[in-house]
Homo-oligomer: A and B are copies of this chain.
Amino acid sequence: MNIRDALKLYVIPDRRIGAPRSIEEQAALAIDGGATLIQLREKEMNGRELYETACRLSSLCRSRGAVFVVNDRLDIALASRAHGVHLGKEDLPVSVARKIVPVGFLIGATAHSIEEGRAAEEQGADYVGIGAVFPTGTKNVVSVIGVDGIRAIRKALSLPSVAIGGISEGNAAEVLSAGVDGIAVVSAVVGRPDIAGAARRLAETVFSGKP
């Protein structure tokens, strides 16, 4: 799958927000609804739990034609045969990760500003997650930059990009009007009772291709 296509509907399952469903159940339902990429991000799991969860998600995504990336832990990504890793500012530098991954391994980075986006591009990131668009309860958000902020960063970069932070059914079209390739969500999909239905409605907005 082309990286820009993979970024269309980027879903991050969450044990807490998606409870009582497991991360694997959340991911499977999200893919049913049209999720194109699943990211494993669980700060509370130890290495063994992460590895075992990542192996299950990697198999699931490969069998269903979705892309799978692991947040932060490049070792878990490599060990589970994930398609890539997502690296934030508190993780390994992108340029360092690039030196130890095989050709074709995806590296995503996070950008809260044009400067961070350009740095990600220079260091060899394959895509950039831009945010936070809106306030969100999922993460301690350092900066909320709005749709205009997303547009400004996106325009300054040639990298494929995905917007993240407080995106929902109600504002997805507006976010996409900023020119990003796709949207990344947690609560808007895995926090809903009908995960597949929620993913499907967001996928329709993303794939309609019009704001």
Contacts and interface: CB of A to CB of B under 8 A. Distances in A.
B97 A79 contact: yes
Contact of A47 (B47, B78, B92, B100): B92
A74 interface: yes
Nearest to A72: B47
B100 A79 contact: yes
Contact of A48 (B46, B48, B93): B93
A79 B51 contact: no
A81 B163 CA distance: 34
Interface in A68-97: 72-76, 78-79, 87, 89-93, 96-97
A90 B76 CA distance: 13
A47 B90 contact: yes
A136 to B, nearest CB: 20
7 contacts: A46-B90, A46-B91, A47-B87, A48-B90, A49-B90, A79-B97, A79-B99
Interface of A: 46-49, 51, 72-76, 78-79, 87, 89-93, 96-97, 99-100
